[in-house]
Amino acid sequence: MGHLSKEEGIKAVNRGLGLLAVITLVEVLVSLFGKGHLGIEPDWSFNVNLGLYEGPLAPLLIIVGLLLIGLSLYKAYYIVYKFMHMADEVKGLRMSVLLPMLLFVWAIIAFFQEGNSWKERRDQILEKNKIETNTVVIVEDAAEEVELHQDENH
Amino acid sequence: MATDTVKEHDGQSEGGAWDGGQAPMKASYGKLMMWYFLLSDAFTFTGFLIAYGTLRFSSPTWPVPDFVFKTFPFVDASKEMPLIFVTVMSFVLIISSGTMVRAVQEGHRENQKGVVFWMLMTILGGATFLGCQAWEWSNLIGTEHMTVTRNPFGTHTHNGAYLADDGTVNSDDTFEMGASYLIHTAEHAAHGHGGDHGDDHGAHGDSHDEHQDAGHDSHTDTHDDHHGDAHAVAVSSDAYAEGDHGGYVVKDGFVLRKYKIQEEDGSYSDDTYTEAFGPKAFGALFFAITGFHGFHVFSGVLFLFIIMINAASGQYAARKNGYEMVEKIGLYWHFVDLVWVFVFLAFYLL
């Protein structure tokens, strides 16, 4: 690891802080723009029943979302590589820490798809829950009947 | 057996990887283990955030962050400052990360005073962040009545208009599909703090004596000609009592406003609906995940404090590996900042 002089060190920290601060500020502004603040009246509105935004410029919101995720990933890269000095570690260490993270690519796709599926099949799930609840009631009734019979036997 | 042992021993003496003298991956034991601990911690946090995303995807509505997080300390709640406070919190954490880098740099330069000073700055940053989070939580719990099992932030699923206190449609008091609302407690509504609850409730409350107890001396707007004159407004003790009222239903101490859905042609539905609580999972996820992150900040501050004391006492100056302990807590501290990047993204930005 290169040992910096005091001046070099301060310069590197200030550059990092400035970069992260500017990215965070841009993120907040992009987010507020997407939510319709900043004095710009958006042409999109949220349709709760469809679960998505409607309007001619609504696809812009996908770009807003992707931009926010991209900027956050860049911040994460900067913190790990510059502040935590991952760039100075050997390749084996870098890969052994970073490659396991790729598992989340699968996890995020799979679980978010699953969540979305719950939403789309909400009515079916409620219907199924109702049937299962009824079944439980019948079982309870049967148990009571058995108890009644036992009482009679006594 | 004996020959095998000798062979093995020979291999080691030639400077094999298992000889012990070499650090695997050219990193010390402590730093290597810190990296793997952080990897496991990253799995925990990502698991939490994936659970958040899954439940958010599964819910037809979700509280909009720019509506939920729009308050600022010492600023009146009616003034909207969306995401401003949490941006300040982010800056505090980023700056404390920068001061931590400075502490590690001074450690490389074997500058004991520099290490202690910059670690102290980092501790102050962490403590400031925790203070901000404490205010945010107490505001959500105490003022807005969110708990792990109750989410008063709801979303309108239709266009519509609220009912006035006499039970008729107030066509001036409308809302749009997708708009957010906050359900207030009866006590709040009676005191006229109902920021989102429409000015019809808020305005007259301000003209009355705010010091009276809510349950006994709740005021109501009687729509008489002397509106605004404190002496003329009828005082009704049951204005926010449990049960069905003209413009709202009071249930479990919460005021659920009544509304009618506006159809495509502008007419209002025959059926009357009441506002409902938002998805329950929001409160549980918010407090669990930001709480778990806050706990990391808290333990980070504790460890920073211990290591700062050690550095100040000259313990590390005497060690062979210098200020490596400062590097290790630095890795942990940057990781806490790293996690916040994604908590910030999931809860506040998206």
Q: How confident is the model at residue B218 (pLDDT cuts 50, 70, 90)?
A: very low
Q: How far apart are CA B82 and CA B87, in angstroms?
A: 10
What is the CB neighbour count within 10 angstroms for residue A91? 8
What's the confidence (pLDDT) of residue B315? Answer: 86
- Give A71-76 contacts, CB < 8 A, sequence gap 24+: A71/A23, A71/A26, A71/A27, A71/A30, A72/A27, A72/B341, A72/B342, A72/B344, A72/B345, A72/B349, A74/A23, A75/A20, A75/A23, A75/A24, A75/B341, A76/B338, A76/B341, A76/B342
Best residue of A10, A31, A94 to probe chain B, by most B CBs closer than 10 Å = A31
Q: How far apart are CA A74 and CA A71, in angstroms?
A: 5
Residues B34-40 have a mean pLDDT of 95
Is the pLDDT confidence value at B1 over 60? Answer: no
Give the structural domain span for B164: 154-277
Is the pLDDT confidence value at A23 over 80? Answer: yes
Any idea which residue has 């030639």 for tokens? B14
Do B51 and B145 reside in the same domain of the chain?
A: yes
B32 lies within 8 A of chain A by CB:
yes
Question: Residue B224 falls within a domain, yes or no?
Answer: yes
Do B142 and B41 reside in the same domain of the chain?
A: yes
User: How many structural domains are present in chain A?
Assistant: 1
What's the confidence (pLDDT) of residue B270? Answer: 80
Question: Residue A59 falls within a domain, yes or no?
Answer: yes
- DSSP-derived secondary structure for chain A: -PPPPHHHHHHHHHHHHHHHHHHHHHHHHHHHHHTT-TT---S-EEETTTTEEESTTTTHHHHHHHHHHHHHHHHHHHIIIIIS-GGGS-HHHHHHHHGGGGHHHHHHHHHHHHHHHHHHTHHHHHHHHHHHHHHHHHHHHHHHHHHHHHHHH-
Nearest CA in chain B to A85: B331
Q: Which of A48, A119, A122 sits opposite B177 (nearest CB)?
A: A48
Tokens standing for residue A10: 């301060």
Q: Residue window 17-76, chain A: list those with CB within 8 Å of chain B.
A: 17, 20-21, 24-25, 27-28, 30-32, 35, 37, 45-49, 51, 65, 68-69, 72, 75-76
Question: Residue A132 falls within a domain, yes or no?
Answer: no
Question: Residue B198 falls within a domain, yes or no?
Answer: yes
What's the confidence (pLDDT) of residue B246? Answer: 79
Question: Residue B2 falls within a domain, yes or no?
Answer: no
Q: How confident is the model at residue A149 (pLDDT cuts 50, 70, 90)?
A: low
Residues sharing a CB contact under 8 Å with residue A50, sequence separation 6 or more, in sequence order: none
Question: Residue B120 falls within a domain, yes or no?
Answer: yes
Q: How confident is the model at residue B274 (pLDDT cuts 50, 70, 90)?
A: confident
What's the confidence (pLDDT) of residue A42? Answer: 66
Is there a contact between B204 and B213 (Cβ–Cβ < 8 Å)?
no
Do B262 and B331 reside in the same domain of the chain?
A: no
Do B242 and B98 reside in the same domain of the chain?
A: no
Q: Residue window 124-153, chain A: list those with CB within 8 Å of chain B.
A: none
Q: pTM (2 decimals)?
A: 0.80
What's the confidence (pLDDT) of residue B172? Answer: 82
Q: Are strands B243-244 and B184-185 parallel, antiparallel or unpaired?
A: unpaired
> Smallest CA–CA separation between B15 and chain A, in Å?
20
Q: How confident is the model at residue B96 (pLDDT cuts 50, 70, 90)?
A: very high
Is there a contact between B51 and B43 (Cβ–Cβ < 8 Å)?
no
CA atoms within 13 A on the CB side of B102: 24
Q: How confident is the model at residue B204 (pLDDT cuts 50, 70, 90)?
A: very low
Output B11 or A78, whichever has higher pLDDT.
A78
Question: Residue A77 falls within a domain, yes or no?
Answer: yes
Residues B310-324 have a mean pLDDT of 85
8 Å CB contact of B54 and A114 = yes
What's the confidence (pLDDT) of residue B237? Answer: 58
pLDDT tens for residues B144-166?
889 999 888 888 888 888 888 88
Nearest CA in chain A to B327: A84
Residues sharing a CB contact under 8 Å with residue A117, sequence separation 6 or more, in sequence order: none
A110 lies within 8 A of chain B by CB:
no
Do B144 and B288 reside in the same domain of the chain?
A: yes
Question: Residue A39 falls within a domain, yes or no?
Answer: yes
pLDDT tens for residues B110-157?
888 999 999 999 999 999 999 999 999 999 998 888 999 988 888 888
Q: Residue window 193-232, chain B: list those with CB within 8 Å of chain A.
A: none
Buried b (16+ CB within 10 A) or exposed e, B182-201: bbbbbbbbbbbbbbbbbebb
Q: How far apart are CA B177 and CA B154, in angstroms?
A: 11
Question: Residue A98 falls within a domain, yes or no?
Answer: no
Q: How confident is the model at residue B322 (pLDDT cuts 50, 70, 90)?
A: confident
pLDDT tens for residues B281-300?
999 999 999 999 999 999 99
Residue among B331, B330, B286, B340 nearest B94 (CA): B340
> Smallest CA–CA separation between B304 and chain A, in Å?
16
pLDDT tens for residues A50-86?
666 777 777 788 888 999 999 999 999 999 999 999 9
Q: How confident is the model at residue A87 (pLDDT cuts 50, 70, 90)?
A: confident
**Quick one: what percent of chain A has pLDDT higher than 90?**
40
Give the structural domain span for A57: 1-88
Do B107 and B174 reside in the same domain of the chain?
A: no
Nearest CA in chain A to B156: A48
Q: Which region among A13-27, B35-49, B229-243 has the lowest average model confidence (pLDDT)? A: B229-243
Indicate the average pLDDT of chain B: 80
Q: Which residues pair with B260 in a beta bridge?
A: B161
Is the pLDDT confidence value at B333 over 70? Answer: yes
Question: Residue A154 falls within a domain, yes or no?
Answer: no
Is the pLDDT confidence value at A112 over 90? Answer: yes
What is the CB neighbour count within 10 angstroms for residue B297? 22
Question: Residue A113 falls within a domain, yes or no?
Answer: no
> Smallest CA–CA separation between B301 and chain A, in Å?
18
Question: Residue B178 falls within a domain, yes or no?
Answer: yes
Q: How confident is the model at residue A144 (pLDDT cuts 50, 70, 90)?
A: low
Q: Spell out the alpha helix ranges (H) of B209-280.
A: none
Do B78 and B145 reside in the same domain of the chain?
A: yes
Q: What is the DSSP letter of B234?
A: P
Output B65 or B92, whichever has higher pLDDT.
B92
Is the pLDDT confidence value at B347 over 90? Answer: yes
Tokens standing for residue B205: 């409350």
Q: Spell out the alpha helix ranges (H) of chain B.
A: 2-13, 29-58, 65-68, 84-108, 112-138, 186-191, 199-206, 281-312, 324-344
Q: How far apart are CA B23 and CA B45, in angstroms?
A: 29
What is the four-CA torsion angle of B239, B244, B246, B252, rounded to 10 degrees?
60
pLDDT tens for residues B232-252?
344 455 777 777 887 888 888
- Round the CA-based radius of gyration of chain A to a whole number and report it: 28
Output B57 or A3, whichever has higher pLDDT.
B57
Do B32 and B83 reside in the same domain of the chain?
A: yes
What's the confidence (pLDDT) of residue B54? Answer: 94
Q: What is the DSSP letter of B19?
A: G
Amino acid (one-letter) located at B249: V
Question: Residue B262 falls within a domain, yes or no?
Answer: yes
What's the confidence (pLDDT) of residue B170? Answer: 81
Do B252 and B330 reside in the same domain of the chain?
A: no
3-state secondary structure of B318: coil
Question: Residue A37 falls within a domain, yes or no?
Answer: yes
Do B323 and B259 reside in the same domain of the chain?
A: no
Q: Which region among A14-18, A120-124, B192-196 has the lowest average model confidence (pLDDT)? A: B192-196
Output B336 or B175, whichever has higher pLDDT.
B336
Residues B191-202 have a mean pLDDT of 44
Do B158 and B273 reside in the same domain of the chain?
A: yes
Tokens standing for residue A37: 């603040």
Is the pLDDT confidence value at B88 over 70? Answer: yes
User: How many structural domains are present in chain B?
Assistant: 2
Do B224 and B298 reside in the same domain of the chain?
A: no
CA atoms within 13 A on the CB side of A34: 24
For residue B87, the domain's CATH number is 1.20.120.80
What's the confidence (pLDDT) of residue B191? Answer: 64
Q: Which of B35, B82, B345 sits opposite A97 (nearest CB)?
A: B35
